[in-house]
Structure 1
Amino acid sequence: MSSADPARGTDTDVRDETRDRILLAGMRCTAQFGRAKTTMQDVAVAAGVSRATLYRYFADRGALFSGIREYEHEHDLAEFSRLADGARSLTDAVAALGEVLAGTSARYRVGAHLAAGDESLATYMALRSGRERERAAALIRPYVARASAAGELRPGVSAAEAEEWIALAVVQATSLAPLHSVDAEDPAAVGRWLARMACSGLCV
């Protein structure tokens, strides 16, 4: 190993750290201003980097928002794994999934920005709804399979039906704040509410 190798490794670490700082700044700006009004300049200032540095990492707003989405998905997966680790039933797992997605929605103030007329956000959500349901279905799939094998599902309810219904209910409910029967700003409460409502017709 040459003496230059550690320097390259250090440089990579610095770049990764800068990228994370930019993504976190982008998340904060999106939560504050909304998707439509967040600019590259806003993010550069919030991250404490120059515009040139920002554009070295993300060529445009589309690339930046894609990076933020991937970053959020990694966070959601880790958080769901943590919350669902001790799930004893399908209801517990759905509560964990609902809590994670409601937490993301609350963090970005989705309901407030939609109410304020953020058309960019509404369009994004419409275009991404199918993929978000697929992602939610993939996360809940092992728990549905376990519930089906354990006889937890009602007679006549297939695992595929249960998985699809849960994904649809969780994604739609956590993206359409405010909710009137539960505090949308309390992700754990939203998760429990979703689990109770979504599983009442699925589980014995």
Structure 2
Amino acid sequence: MTALPEPAETAADPDTRDRILRAGMDCVTRYGRAKTTMQDVAVAAGLSRATLYRHFVDRGALFNAIRDFERRRDTATITERAGRTTTLRDAVAVVAEVLAATGIRYRQGEHLAAGDESLARFLALRSGRERERVAAMVRPYVERAAAGGELRSGVSAAAAEEWIALTLSQAGSLSGLRSVDVHDPAALGGWLARMACAGVCARP
């Protein structure tokens, strides 16, 4: 199968870049990170390989751009929804649900269970950064909880933040759990919030 002909565009064309990113997301969802090729993405986007390479020099650059796109979208959603919560548990449930939804959309748990070594290596190498990213997401709500007396006696805001980040950082790649449906972002988010907050909140 070959890519469809497309009109001429410049490398800075944001519409074409967005088209490539969305095609890349679709391909990673279907084939997994390891099996997605630049040719797959070009065909899915209806573009030539030459156009694809004008925007992204290789698979790594494309995957990084997809990750950044998803993270910006997740952060915006979390900021908007968690900002309306009144308790730490509710805020954590929002963060966990959004992270889980992204992982479920990409079938991360399924791809890992099927032996996607490229994805496993990627997640392992970025585990520390992912915890830091999640910690930054929950920090405002942990600080609010500390100021409002929600945290258990003897639990500092820093400790609560680290524990919650550790718990939530795997939200998008869980599989095989018996006590919660890992394909339901809201159910998984609520479950993770209960588990995380039970250890740090006075009234979980």
Q: TM-score normalised to the size of structure 2?
A: 0.92
CA distance in 1, matches of 2:163, 2:144: 16
The residue aligned with 1:27 is 25
The total of aligned residue pairs comes to 194
Q: Which runs of 5+ in 1 are unaligned?
A: 1-10
Q: Kindly, what percent of the aligned residue pairs are identical?
A: 65
Distance in 2 of aligned mates of 1:197 and 1:61: 37
Match of 1:36 in 2: 34
2:155 paired residue among 157, 160, 171: 157
Unaligned runs of 5+ in 2: 1-8
More helix by share: 1
RMSD over aligned Cα, in angstroms?
1.5
1:105, distance to aligned residue in structure 2 (A): 0.7
**How many angstroms apart in 1 are the aligned matches of 2:177 and 2:26?**
23
Offset of residue 12 of structure 1: 7.6
Q: Secondary structure of the equivalent of 2:118?
A: helix
Separation in 2 of the partners of 1:145 and 1:85?
Answer: 13
Match of 1:62 among 60, 63, 84: 60
- Report what 2:3 is aligned to: none
Q: Partner of 2:122 in structure 1?
A: 124
Is 2:84 the partner of 1:86? yes
- Quote how far apart the aligned CAs of 1:14 are: 7.8
Contact 2:108 2:172 in 1 (8 A): no
| Corresponding residue of 1:181 | 179
Q: TM-score, normalised by structure 1?
A: 0.92
How has the CA–CA distance of structure 1 residues 24 and 170 changed in structure 2, closer, same or farther, with 3 Å as cutoff? same
2:6 maps to which residue?
none
Q: Give, in whole Å, the separation in 2 of the partners of 1:115 and 1:88.
A: 37
